[in-house]
Structure 1
């Protein structure tokens, strides 16, 4: 049905047994990318937390993407960075991280922001939220037709994010999402079972 892939986003708490949970999730089914998303740590502590997770991803050929921080991505030698609208621009990220870095941009429900990101050289754009989510405050709601519009006009991959579960993912896949970005749907329960459930949908 699709070439849509799974893009895991970390919970805010990645200490303790979390590396074991990440290992279970990545071993349960195909995952294209993992986004390291922690808040409230200085860069040194964030790098310490990221280290085991980055190794787990590298061993499984999963792209390791840092949320928000170009400097942390540079420090870690990460595969890329995901930028919110207030986190710096694509040009700066490209200059600091190199031409091979994967740079993604949050575009909410905005066609204009997505086109700007594409013109600036982003490697992917992220639209959302599509469904109610507890992971972060919802200010922008996107609809599946946004994914279809993007696919018809642009070559750059698009990511769907926001409240996505195995039960509600199918319309987003059908609409043209290249990636489903998920966090609570995986980490809120049995991560291996959740990844397997997403894998079944993405196989079509």
Structure 2
């Protein structure tokens, strides 16, 4: 039994039929968390888009994480926030969101960034992009040994991100990723079938 879990990241377009697609995905297999990630949308519009998705996640007992915005996470009473290196301070996020909030930090391919995030009180760190990604471009390409080292040395969980598919994820699971963060591999096709394919590998 793998301890690795699935962490879904939204596509940039979460309007239209997307709430139904999210329900399909969450109903197809166990998902630990869903990250709401939109860009260039004003806070009021983002909150309106997020509300039905938050409800779906709550119903499915899936953590609802907001990308980048501490203020939006607070407004939505989200389960947590995911911060890039330029999106704010973990300690400030903790003050704003409370002790129970899940706070994650993008750490690219850097052990140092990961340790700094852990020292600041992050609940998890994300390393990537392990593979070329159509969702977000990144020049950072961590090696599998980063995941292995992290598991041996650090207590807090690590997330592997970037171009992850059912076909290429097995080495990441073996290396010790606690979560696989996936977006296009699920939303780029049949979301239920994709979640089922990941579930078989994580079982």
Q: TM-score, normalised by structure 2?
A: 0.99
| Residues 1:71 and 2:63 are matched in the alignment | no
| Superposition deviation, residue 137 in structure 1 | 1.2
Unaligned stretches of 5+ residues in structure 1: none
Structure 1 residue runs of 4 or more that deviate by more than 4 Å after TM superposition: none
What pairs up with 1:24-43 in 2 under 5 angstroms? 24-43=24-43
Unaligned stretches of 5+ residues in structure 2: none
**Number of aligned residues:** 203
What pairs up with 1:5-154 in 2 under 5 angstroms? 5-154=5-154
| Superposition deviation, residue 143 in structure 1 | 1.3
Partner Cα distance (1:149, 1:95) in 2: 30
Deviations 1:21-75 (Å, cap 9, x if unpaired)? Answer: 0000000000000000000111000000000000000001000000000000000
Partner Cα distance (2:123, 2:13) in 1: 27
Match of 1:172 in 2: 172
**In angstroms, what is the RMSD of aligned CA positions?**
0.5
What pairs up with 1:149-164 in 2 under 5 angstroms? 149-164=149-164
Partner Cα distance (2:197, 2:144) in 1: 21
